[in-house]
Amino acid sequence: MVTQASVFHAIADPTRRSILDRLREGDGLAVNEIAGRFEVSRPAISKHLRVLHQAHLVREAREGRHRVYRLNPEPLRELDRWIEQYRRFWTLNLQSLKRHVEAKGKKV
């Protein structure tokens, strides 16, 4: 089961976010293709991919001798739906604050 906490943990790291950004651009990349785009070791990239895989943010498939990774956006969609509740809450509250401040400004 994927939890919001595991998704937040996975996307908290800038390298993992960059990996997701790169996977968003294409049909899938092998580990070596991903690692070649970063200044960290291949084992470090493999660890990042493992975290992303555990959070279900990437899908892993064997294609010949290579492991190919593809973006799985569904956990991010679920996270966005959860965040949307707070986005609406703050939008409404900020609009109320704006009306209040503008009304006070007219009285002065």
CATH code of the region 4-107: 1.10.10.10
pLDDT recorded at residue 108: 59
Nearest to 9 by CA among 42, 44, 53: 53
pLDDT recorded at residue 72: 95
Predicted TM-score (pTM) of the model is 0.75
Ranges assigned E (strand) in the chain: 29-30, 58-63, 66-71
What percent of the chain has pLDDT above 70?
97
Domain ranges of the chain: 4-107
Tell me which residue has tokens 């991919």. Answer: 49
Confidence category of residue 95, pLDDT binned at 50, 70, 90: confident
Confidence category of residue 1, pLDDT binned at 50, 70, 90: low
Sheet containing 58-63: order of strands: 29-30, 66-71, 58-63
